[in-house]
Amino acid sequence: MGFQIETGTTVEVLTDVSFRVFPSEIFALVGESGCGKSVTCLALTRLLPSPPARHLGGAVRVGGRDVYRLGPGELRKVRGHGVAYVFQEPATALNPVRRIGPQIAEAVRLHSRRGDPVASRVTELLHAVGIPEPERCARAFPHQLSGGMKQRVALAMALAMKPGILVADEPTTALDVTVQAQILELLRNIRDRSGMAIILVTHDLGIVSETADRVAVMYAGRIVEIAPVDALFRGPRHPYTRALLEAVPRLDTPLSAGLTTIPGRVPTPREYGAGCRFANRCPVAKPTCSKVVPQLKEVVAGHASACLATEGA
């Protein structure tokens, strides 16, 4: 996936991004801001406007069908039925001048047969996401709801079409800790009840450890490690994953020690080099790392890493 820039050329932003998500699985996508997590998820159903976005190759298969070969009508069915989204800013996902009920009803009506009971379905969805007094909520405007309630409404809209995959992009951003825990518990409950797969986009490794089944670590438009969540936290194989884990604040670390950080910053797509994109920040980089692209290889069953310096470790 690339983006056309002002000069007319196309800059590649995602390279060789490949993963599978299974039913009833919570699959986390983690990494620093600017690593390509959200762009990856938007590309799943061609939500990136083209231009400037350009599909440079590969396939995105939802239910066995390549999304990039579908016509407008078929694509519309994938959006909602196949893949649905909950974005990190529920306030911007909701129309501020329309009541909650009609907004959810619109999503239900677009994917229902004529004559289906829309009003009762709206109430059912609001109840399913844990909103007390759903009829009252349906009559409210977005500004009358708290951040956590808005996120639940956004989740109800996403669930309206009973999707096979739910993409939750930073679903707990700007929510207090108690509400974060409630939203994450709700996602787990929905997964358990429906069997849907969830792609959880986050930079919070604490959320990942408590919620996810498997995790993919992204850096500068590439996946550098994929593993079951327990294996990744117990024995990370990629230096970037190790650096992320070391940067997590710990209660047993004295304040005088300060915070551990990763030197430097994530390169922009125009700055991607010929080799490993983490090489200039990596503490174990070899001379070949800046020249040779490391391939994502399975190091043990179910655990893959893309690092020349740690191959065979």
Query: What CATH number is given to the structural domain containing 37?
Result: 3.40.50.300
pLDDT one-digit tens code per residue, 180-226 = 899 999 999 999 999 999 999 998 898 999 999 999 999 999 999 99
Mean pLDDT to the nearest integer, 81-98:
87
* DSSP 8-state secondary structure symbol assigned to residue 36: S
pLDDT at 219: 97
Rounded distance between C-alpha atoms, residue 58 and residue 40, angstroms? 13
pLDDT at 111: 67
Mean pLDDT to the nearest integer, 5-11:
86
Residue 310 has pLDDT above 80, yes or no: no
Residue 241 has pLDDT above 60, yes or no: yes
Q: Is 227 a member of any domain?
A: no
Q: Is 64 a member of any domain?
A: yes
Q: Is 163 a member of any domain?
A: yes
Q: 222 Cβ partners below 8 Å, 6+ apart?
A: 14, 15, 16, 17, 36, 277, 306
47 or 174, which is more confident? 47
pTM tops 0.85, yes or no: yes
pLDDT at 244: 94
Contact 155, 186 (CB under 8 A): yes
pLDDT one-digit tens code per residue, 30-85 = 999 889 999 999 999 999 998 899 999 999 999 889 999 999 989 988 988 899 99
pLDDT band, residue 110 (cuts 50/70/90): confident
Containing 69, the helix (H) or strand (E) segment is: none
pLDDT at 80: 85
Rounded distance between C-alpha atoms, residue 29 and residue 37, angstroms? 6
Q: Is 313 a member of any domain?
A: no
Total domains, the chain: 1
Residue 5 has pLDDT above 90, yes or no: no
pLDDT band, residue 313 (cuts 50/70/90): very low
Mean pLDDT to the nearest integer, 234-260:
85
Q: Is 305 a member of any domain?
A: no
pLDDT at 231: 96
134 or 252, which is more confident? 134
Host domain of residue 60: 2-219
Q: Which long-range contacts (CB under 8 A, 24 or more apart) does 144-152 make?
A: 145/100, 146/179, 147/90, 147/91, 147/174, 147/175, 147/179, 148/175, 148/179, 148/182, 148/183, 150/90, 150/91, 150/94, 151/86, 151/90, 151/175, 151/179, 151/183, 152/126, 152/183, 152/186
Residue 150 has pLDDT above 70, yes or no: yes
Q: Is 165 a member of any domain?
A: yes
Q: Is 251 a member of any domain?
A: no
Q: Is 272 a member of any domain?
A: no
pLDDT band, residue 7 (cuts 50/70/90): confident
255 or 82, which is more confident? 82
173 or 268, which is more confident? 268
